[in-house]
Amino acid sequence: MRFLHSFARFSAVLTLALSLPVNNRAAESVAVTATIDVAHPQSAIPKSFAGFSREWRRFPSPDGGPAGAVHPTYLRLLENLAAFNDEGLSFRVGGNSADGMGTVPEDDRWRQIGEVFKATRTPIIININLAKENAELDKDLIRAAQRLLPPGAIATFELGNEPDGWKGRYRPEDYTYEQYLEAYHKVAEQLVPSLTPGLAGPAWAHSAPPEVLMQFLAKERPFINLLTVHSYRFDPKSHPEVKKLLDEGPTAGFAKSLAPGIKVAHDAGLKLRLGEAGSAWSGGIAGFSDTYACSLWTIDFLFELAHAGLDGVNFHGGGVSHYTAIKEDVDKASGKAIISASAPYYGMLVFSEAVAHEARFVPVQTAGPATRVKFWATVDRTGTVRVVVINKDFTAPADVEIRLSGKQTGATLKRLEAPSLDATTGLTYAGQTFDGTADGNPVGALKQEALAEQDGVLRFHLDPASAALLTVPAVP
């Protein structure tokens, strides 16, 4: 029996180019049955588990609107993701720009951050400078945030960004981790508790080595209220194929590697977040990070990390970077903002709905031949059950049977689909797309398939390289 999800490999020869339609049904369907044990809920998915990170650049403003406002389409795209939970969508402001800043951002920038907080309904992680070791600058940053942001808008201040990348940039090549810890300590003791109850860190670039976190806590624990690290799964220089996004290494394998770091954090009574994450570093990879395959990866990545006990993930992005979930471009002719949802956004949308309303994981047991079909099941506080099914096989469709205890009525299915695995447009969720949206709302009629129980089983067909969300409401 495997809890929470089930995944087994199906050996197949790829005979279909990835650019061909992913809903091709030439291959023989594989039957797989999943039994959902709703009576034994497991760990809860943390509120605001998924979210965004962006640099200290301005948010897009409304066309002709005030500089302190945020474009309504951008806000609406955030609200779509935040709609499923009481506390909606985590946000971090910072990155390399935090350690590069030498002055406090103008008031309008803070007002924009306040608008984002109102849309996401979740306190924001604010990344401040450490590279300059200038406590007075950080005091000014903290005071500005406290003065200009709405009450409750600040989650914590994260001191510094990716110190393991400072050599040759902010520090000499012989710079040591011990010197970094001294610098952090020197600045932190001037900020905590006089200006803020705690800080976040170390914003380590290379995942969560337990020895790094243990050394950090041995020196800095009195100042810390959140541990943060970063991870991007692919190197752009390796030119990975999009099919690699459906491998288990970048999801389940990575989640397993985080377990020691998660234990260090939790043993210290702290939460651990990926303050920055993405499919590939340096802005992502065109034709990879912005594809339908990446939307499928995003769903599985979030579920695997939540299952592993991580406390949250903030996907880095902004501007027109390849990995960003929300793109912010400008029409050269009119000068008007163009705000659009990219492929990772669809994955975040499916995940957000699947973990709605204080959801908890529930066990899943599968039967049938070995397949590349993966299941994630949850039950929320109302008793509604949701099952995400991801078919990671490129050629073989699946005939899926879902068994739940008790009576099932009103079950519906939403599908995440696209013309091809490498598609960057034409993605749909429940028949709707964000292509061409003028206001951040989905375009097209909502398509939900009603599933009728037959002999205690819910049945549906799932195309290759696709995903679906099954929702079974609680029976009164």
- Region 459-472: mean pLDDT is 98
- The Cα 452–Cα 473 span in angstroms is 13
Per-residue pLDDT of 266-323, as tens digits, reads: 999 999 999 999 999 999 999 999 999 999 999 999 999 999 999 999 999 999 999 9
Of residues 81, 21, 70, the one with CA closest to residue 48: 81
- Point out the least confidently predicted range of 104-118, 264-278, 360-374: 360-374
pLDDT at residue 256, as a whole number? 98
The per-residue pLDDT for 257 is 98
The predicted pLDDT at position 26 comes to 56
Q: How confident is the model at residue 406 (pLDDT cuts 50, 70, 90)?
A: confident
| DSSP assignment letter at 25 | -
pLDDT mean across residues, the chain: 93
* Dihedral over alpha carbons 239, 242, 246, 252 (to 10 degrees): 30
**Cα–Cα distance measured from residue 313 to residue 307, given in angstroms and rounded to the nearest whole number:** 13
- pLDDT value at residue 20: 40
What are the start-end ranges of the E strands in 426-473?
Answer: 428-429, 449-451, 457-462, 466-472
The predicted structure's pLDDT at residue 22: 55
> Is the predicted pLDDT of residue 158 greater than 80, yes or no?
yes
Give the tens place of pLDDT for each residue, 178-200. 999 999 999 999 999 999 999 99
pLDDT band at 386 (very low <50, low <70, confident <90, very high): very high
Q: Rounded CA gap, 228 and 155, in Å? A: 13
Structural domains present in the chain = 30-42+359-411+451-472 (2.60.40.1180), 46-355 (3.20.20.80)
C-beta separation of 468 from 460 below 8 A: yes
Higher-confidence residue of 88 and 83: namely 83
The 10s digit of each residue's pLDDT in 212-252 is 999 999 999 999 999 999 999 999 999 999 999 999 999 99
DSSP conformation class of 446: -
Q: What is the pLDDT of residues 22-44, one digit of tens each?
A: 554 457 899 999 999 999 999 99
Whether omega for the bond prior to residue 193 falls within 30 degrees of 0, making it cis, is: yes
pLDDT band at 456 (very low <50, low <70, confident <90, very high): confident
Residue 3, classed as helix, strand or coil, is coil
Beta-carbon count within 10 A of 425 CB? 15
Q: Which residue has the tokens 């375009």?
A: 443
The confidence band for 357, taking pLDDT boundaries of 50, 70 and 90, is very high
* Alpha carbon 137 to chain centroid, angstroms: 31
Residue 279, burial from CB neighbour count under 10 angstroms (0-12, 13-18, 19+) = buried
- CA 170 – CA 168 distance, rounded (Å): 6
Task: Give the separation between CA 80 and CA 356, rounded to whole angstroms.
Answer: 12
Name the residue among 382, 412, 415 with its Cα closest to residue 472.
Answer: 412
